[in-house]
Amino acid sequence: MGVVPQTLDLSAPNAAAGPGQVSDATVGTPSSGNPSQARQEPEAPTDQRSHDDLLDAIASTRDKTAFAELFSHFAPRLKSYLIRLGTDAAMSEEVAQEAMVMVWRKAESFDRKQASAATWIFTIARNKRIDRLRRERRPELDPNDPALVPDAPDAADRSIEVQQTEESLRSAIEKLPQEQSELIRAAYFEDKTHREIADQRGIPLGTVKSRIRLALARLRQEIDGFDTDPGPSSE
């Protein structure tokens, strides 16, 4: 994929503009949230590559010069566009940077038959803004939400029974051979599947299942009513 070239200063578009480029940061940016409504910009001189060609160069050869041209042209325009959508200046600059990084990384997905370079790039910026707003929204907590209401405390006798069972279980596990006790802890306390345990320990899946079965048989002898389910998942 390659390293993203160093980005340019969004606040100084004119300094980065090359011969024949439009220096006004507001020209060619859509005035609404629809990127397809961008005004048509003047054609570039014949000795310069079009924006579509620049994107193709990035996609095919990771052309950093082509990316620098696109960045100097579009980054300040994206920032202005995002500000007009109601985004503050700091976030607009961050989102514009993120959008241009995505342009570099995903240039090969650009299809000039489907959209112009400008429409494609502004759409990326708009979607980046939407994603950022979604991430930053925090729903208000409802104190009456059942999920937030603590469970009623267990009765004293039930708490004692649970505690005694847990102590018996820990004691029984400690009596197991190490190779079995480790697998029981991984399957029941770490919620790992048998396949995950086998991969992490470098042992066959059948060996994991066999050792857990043997361990459960021993635990069953120690604790009446112990759940002998083979773990969270057999795979």
**What's the number of domains the chain is made of?**
2
- 131 and 224, same domain (yes or no): no
Listed residue (138, 57, 133) closest to 92, CA to CA: 133
Residue 11 binned pLDDT confidence (cut-offs 50, 70, 90): very low
Which range among 39-48, 66-75, 121-130, 183-192 shows the weakest confidence by mean pLDDT? 39-48
Cβ atoms < 10 Å from Cβ of 92: 22
Instruction: Verify that 129 and 221 share a domain, yes or no.
Output: no
Let me know: does 1 contact 105? Beta carbons within 8 Å: yes
Tell me if 156 is assigned to some domain. no
pLDDT given at position 47: 44
Q: What pLDDT shows up at residue 16?
A: 37
Question: Residue 58: phi, psi to the nearest 5?
Answer: -65, -45
Q: How far apart are CA 22 and CA 33, in angstroms?
A: 22
Compute the distance between CA of residue 187 and CA of residue 49 in angstroms, rounded to an integer.
60
Cα separation, 235 vs 193, in Å, equals: 6
Closest CA to 232 of 186, 200, 198: 186
Q: What per-residue confidence (pLDDT) applies to 44?
A: 42
Residue in 31, 52, 27 with CA at minimum distance from that of residue 40: 27
Average pLDDT, the chain: 74
Q: Which pLDDT value is given to residue 168?
A: 73
From residue 102, give the alpha-carbon distance in Å to each of 114, 222, 226.
18, 59, 53
Judge if 63 and 114 occupy the same domain. yes
Whether residue 38 is found in the same domain as residue 97: yes
What's the CATH number where 215 sits? 1.10.10.10
7 lies in some domain? no
Same domain, 122 and 176: no
* pTM attached to this predicted model: 0.44
Residue 41 belongs to some domain of the structure:
yes
CATH number reported for the structural domain that contains residue 74 in this entry: 1.10.1740.10
Q: How far apart are CA 77 and CA 81, in angstroms?
A: 6
* Cβ atoms within 10 Å, residue 207: 15
Separation CA 132–CA 117 (nearest Å): 23
- Split at pLDDT 50, 70, 90, the class of 20 is very low
Please give the pLDDT value at position 220: 78
Same domain for 234 and 123, yes or no, is no
In a domain, 155, yes or no: no
Q: Which pairs count as long-range contacts for 211-214, CB under 8 Å and 24+ apart, including other chains?
A: 211/179, 211/180, 211/183, 212/180, 212/183, 212/184, 212/187, 214/180
Asked if residue 56 has pLDDT above 60, the reply is yes
> Which range of residues forms the domain containing residue 189?
171-235
Yes or no: say if 183 and 208 are a contact pair by the CB < 8 Å rule: yes
Q: Are residues 194 and 127 in the same domain?
A: no
Q: How many CB atoms lie within 10 A of CB 210?
A: 13
Residue 39 and residue 33 in contact, taking contact as beta carbons nearer than 8 Å: no
pLDDT tens digits for 176-228?
888 888 888 888 777 788 888 888 889 998 898 888 888 888 877 776 544 44
Q: Quick one: what percent of the chain has pLDDT higher than 90?
A: 32
